[in-house]
Amino acid sequence: MTPSQTTPTPQPGDRLVAAIEAQTVAIERAMLKAFWTQLAGLTVVMLVAMTVFVFVVKAG
């Protein structure tokens, strides 16, 4: 069996399809990381806001 029979000849669009799939996976991972980062940031902001609110109410 010759190598051409065991390995299919790459098509011109194969590299493009692989690159698009890799980029899609990278974007999905980045979006997930951004979501958790934003959620953590929002949690910190709300914690600070509630703490300040409690101090203002106690002082008033």
Q: Count of domains in the chain?
A: 1
pTM score: 0.59
With respect to residue 58, please indicate whether it lies within any of the assigned structural domains: yes
Q: Which domain holds residue 57?
A: 36-60
Quote the pLDDT of residue 40.
98
List the structure tokens of 27.
């974007």
User: Chain-wide mean pLDDT for the chain?
Assistant: 90
Which pLDDT band, with edges at 50, 70 and 90, does 4 fall under?
A: low
pLDDT per position as a tens digit, 25-52: 999 999 999 999 999 999 999 999 999 9
With respect to residue 52, please indicate whether it lies within any of the assigned structural domains: yes
With respect to residue 15, please indicate whether it lies within any of the assigned structural domains: no
DSSP state of 25: H
Q: How far apart are CA 49 and CA 52, in angstroms?
A: 5
Q: How far apart are CA 32 and CA 4, in angstroms?
A: 41
DSSP state of 8: P
